[in-house]
Amino acid sequence: MIVRNALLFAQEKVANCPLGSDNPSCAVNLPKVGAGDTQITTVLQIVFAVAAGVALISIMIAALNYVTAFSDQDKIARSRRNIIYSLLGLLIALSAEAIIVTVVGRL
């Protein structure tokens, strides 16, 4: 009930205020954020760098498990699967970063 009333209030407030209105009753008191291309690119590069770092650590752990598996076929298969999934994660993170840099660079 409270959420419904809040949504109705917000919808009414937005409907009565045209875009770019200087009317004080239309003020929502939200901070103005000027995030440009460089800030977005920086944040996304940090996110994908962390993902790539996690993938590399996962590859190292799986490789260590593979080396220490000796003749335990279940552990060998699990380590191989982990290495493949970690390589796929690393590939996705690097590809995503390349796509973001390319797209933002062309804007």
Segment 47-67 shows an average pLDDT of 95
Enter the pTM of the model: 0.65
User: How far apart are the C-alpha atoms of 82 and 86, rounded to whole Å?
Assistant: 6
User: Computed over its alpha carbons, how large is the radius of gyration of the chain?
Assistant: 24
User: Residue 76's domain spans which residues?
Assistant: 2-106
Average pLDDT of every residue of the chain = 83
**Number of folded domains in the chain?**
1
Name which of 39, 6, 12, 7 is nearest 25 in CA terms.
Answer: 12
CA angle, 7 then 11 then 1, to 5° = 20
Maximum CA pair distance of the chain?
Answer: 75
pLDDT of 8 over the 90 cut:
no
pLDDT of 98 over the 80 cut:
yes
Q: Which two tokens stand for residue 35?
A: 């995030």
Residue 67: its pLDDT value, please? 95
